[in-house]
Structure 1
């Protein structure tokens, strides 16, 4: 697939940000995040059945691109930090420089990409800023967008925000607001989607003292000690409704009588990936299973889902057994997540937040010092990405960007996403190339999952 960059520009807010809002302080939880981008890619076909046979595809694409830019500009008035740049002082300079926006053209048809998606091709849809060093914080764009138009009139929108600024829930609030603005929704829907809450730094007080820097170093070390350098690849393992129901049934126990979809899938993927990692090392290696947990829903009362920032923390479950059943893994996960309750979130707030986080970080560093491997999970299943409609219909598919061919220092990563109609789950698994070669022939996993099926086939079946 040949993709040609047509333009690079900055989309600025349609009205200037007030002087008293020119600096956005990051909260305590943001301060532990590195500047990485987790793009979401939305695929929109032209849907010619609803149009005249004598359509001007170029004209339609041009109008849609203009609508995307104009509505983005209007949305940035409320999401003004996204139009700024990160600083080295744990803040955003809300300078209205704008969102980094790339317009690109693919000469092929969108269906050619969707019939049998190639993860390495998806990387051509990602908005790469050539002036930005990987991992650099100071001067980094908070948000990036690339819109790629195809010869058939289809559009692919790849958008992302810096993880230093916000989590997946924050990103979803922005995308929903952008889409609502494009559809010119001005009633209750706009009131819900376009009122971001920037109180995170008042709730979770930022800190710059010596203790904070020590904790950040410990936290970073707890991630990087598991990194492996090599060529990573990404595969989609898709679980349909029947497979998920069967897995939930197998994962039942007296301790967890009703496993969730996420728990059941996390269990089988953990078991299979651990088997691969143990086989490579020719010995059993204790493995840390890490899950990102949304703290908004754990607070009592719950925090607003429109609270902007990284209102998440990693929960860890250490698996020391060489062979463990699905129900045992579900129990480990359930127990780990239960530690994040209303008291935990409350104690992170205010002047004592750093000390509470200090205890948690130091405890985990000691408790899991024997772990040799780590598998990181993140669920995007509640983000509502398939409902993002800019005025020409909902996306036919939503994806991540694969790591294929990348030489990286990384841990095994699993991202869980809903299928189009929400009844199935796509597990995006990134592993070293030699490890993936073993995982993609794992009979226990393939009993329930299909590898890299066409999104078009899934849409037709559903």
Structure 2
């Protein structure tokens, strides 16, 4: 599958950013995240209600996307800036780097048997400001690709220095509402996070940062990406197995995370070939917006999440127990926890929390070492409701997760909604040997489907 670039340009805000907003400081929570871009690809079918040819249809859609993007960037002005340094974004209206491309195949052919590595071609990963002569790294990049049938793929890359998954979702909803001229659904982003969680210059060299905690688990190796889809009935079955006195209402994210945690531990144990496998520590990203007191606006932009951590040994690999461990970790991200990260004392509290996680891991590690799994959830984001005026997506993909990190997490998993209500699509980025063993796991085979076509 060859993707041909048709055009490259920078989409700038339709109105200039005021001088008093030209520098956006990163918050404390932004500082501790990886300086990487994370991807999303949204696939849209041909609009069956139009009689236009595929080429004309794509041109009209792309013109609408560019015009509405320019308009919405006046509100999301930080996304149109460039990365100035490790502490701030230069909101200089350089614009979002925007590519148009085409591929010589139909959307249905591309998605009927998805070749995940080839989907990298739908995201603007290899294009930077240096190629446009502007010099600095941009905050956001977009690539719109047309299929011969009139379908299209919108690939987005956004810097993790300024945005988490919720922030990207807020931006996409605002952009889509602008394209549809849906004034009643207009989105007004909130950029107050740096004043609530003030940055700390010492965080740049502090060894207690979260990235320092993760460093022992980062390694070079042969990794692969695969998908497992759990439909609503499978998740209902999982919930029944995972219900206990301590957790009487497990969520679908909790039960799927616990199942994968359990099965990956077993696969890693089988790969190592030793009888006494070490513990596995997992983190699950928890949105802080609704857990603050009072709650932060849902439209708040920034990395407003925390990685709740839980530890489990091979002797504790029972689904209900692992769900209870997850619930305990999530519950600990309380209003009081969020309050502690705010204000001038937030950096000190953040260091305490990270050191506590490192200490728990250190005390539990035996001679066999310890594994780590990083979970993130995009469930309940409403990504299948993103409508630019020609209907809802046929599929949403996050292929490419962590690809721009030279050092890779041994195991990284992203959970997303399926197009059908109540399901979960798990994107697994694992060691190839572990993945091969996991693919034969009978419990997963009984509940999930490996790499199914998203359009069946």
Same fold (TM over 0.5): yes
Greater CA drift, 430-439 or 221-230: 221-230
1:349 to 338, 342, 352: 342
Q: Within the alignment, does 1:255 sit opposite 2:246 as a pair?
A: yes
Are the counterparts in 2 of residues 233 and 405 from structure 1 also a CA contact under 8 Å?
Answer: no
- The residue correspondences of 1:14-413 to structure 2 (distance < 5 A) are 14-48=14-48, 50-52=49-51, 55-131=52-128, 139-186=136-183, 188-190=184-186, 193=187, 195-209=188-202, 212-215=203-206, 218-283=209-274, 284-369=277-362, 370=365, 372-402=370-400, 409-411=407-409, 412-413=411-412
* Alpha-carbon distance in 2 for matches of 1:59, 1:368: 58
* Alpha-carbon distance in 2 for matches of 1:398, 1:252: 30
Closer/same/farther in 2, CA of residues 228 and 322 from structure 1, 3 Å limit: farther
Are the counterparts in 1 of residues 40 and 156 from structure 2 also a CA contact under 8 Å?
Answer: yes
Gaps of 5+ in 1: 458-462
* Alpha-carbon distance in 1 for matches of 2:248, 2:441: 27
| Cα-to-partner distance string for 1:9-39 (whole Å, 9 max, x where unaligned) | 1111011111111001111100101221221
> TM-score, normalized by length of structure 1?
0.93
What is the aligned partner in structure 2 of residue 421 from structure 1?
Answer: 420
Q: CA RMSD in A?
A: 1.8
Report the alpha carbon displacement of residue 456 of structure 1 after superposing the two structures with TM.
1.0
Closer/same/farther in 2, CA of residues 132 and 233 from structure 1, 3 Å limit: farther
Are the counterparts in 1 of residues 34 and 211 from structure 2 also a CA contact under 8 Å?
Answer: no
Closer/same/farther in 2, CA of residues 20 and 132 from structure 1, 3 Å limit: closer
Q: Within the alignment, does 1:453 sit opposite 2:449 as a pair?
A: no
* Alpha-carbon distance in 1 for matches of 2:263, 2:86: 42
> TM-score, normalized by length of structure 2?
0.94
Are the counterparts in 2 of residues 41 and 398 from structure 1 also a CA contact under 8 Å?
Answer: yes
Report the alpha carbon displacement of residue 312 of structure 1 after superposing the two structures with TM.
0.6
* Alpha-carbon distance in 2 for matches of 1:254, 1:286: 25
Greater CA drift, 80-89 or 144-153: 80-89
Report the alpha carbon displacement of residue 408 of structure 1 after superposing the two structures with TM.
5.2
* Alpha-carbon distance in 1 for matches of 2:160, 2:128: 19
* Alpha-carbon distance in 2 for matches of 1:72, 1:44: 17
Report the alpha carbon displacement of residue 359 of structure 1 after superposing the two structures with TM.
1.1
* Alpha-carbon distance in 2 for matches of 1:453, 1:57: 27
Greater CA drift, 399-408 or 421-430: 399-408
Are the counterparts in 1 of residues 414 and 426 from structure 2 also a CA contact under 8 Å?
Answer: yes
Are the counterparts in 2 of residues 119 and 404 from structure 1 also a CA contact under 8 Å?
Answer: no
Report the alpha carbon displacement of residue 230 of structure 1 after superposing the two structures with TM.
1.8
Closer/same/farther in 2, CA of residues 131 and 51 from structure 1, 3 Å limit: closer
* Alpha-carbon distance in 2 for matches of 1:90, 1:41: 28
Report the alpha carbon displacement of residue 6 of structure 1 after superposing the two structures with TM.
1.3
Closer/same/farther in 2, CA of residues 160 and 422 from structure 1, 3 Å limit: farther
Q: What is the SS of the residue equivalent to 2:63?
A: helix
| Cα-to-partner distance string for 1:62-116 (whole Å, 9 max, x where unaligned) | 1111110110000100000101111224110001001111111101111111101
Are the counterparts in 2 of residues 215 and 361 from structure 1 also a CA contact under 8 Å?
Answer: no
* Alpha-carbon distance in 2 for matches of 1:434, 1:408: 20
Are the counterparts in 2 of residues 232 and 407 from structure 1 also a CA contact under 8 Å?
Answer: no
What is the aligned partner in structure 2 of residue 460 from structure 1?
Answer: none
* Alpha-carbon distance in 2 for matches of 1:272, 1:89: 38
* Alpha-carbon distance in 2 for matches of 1:217, 1:359: 8
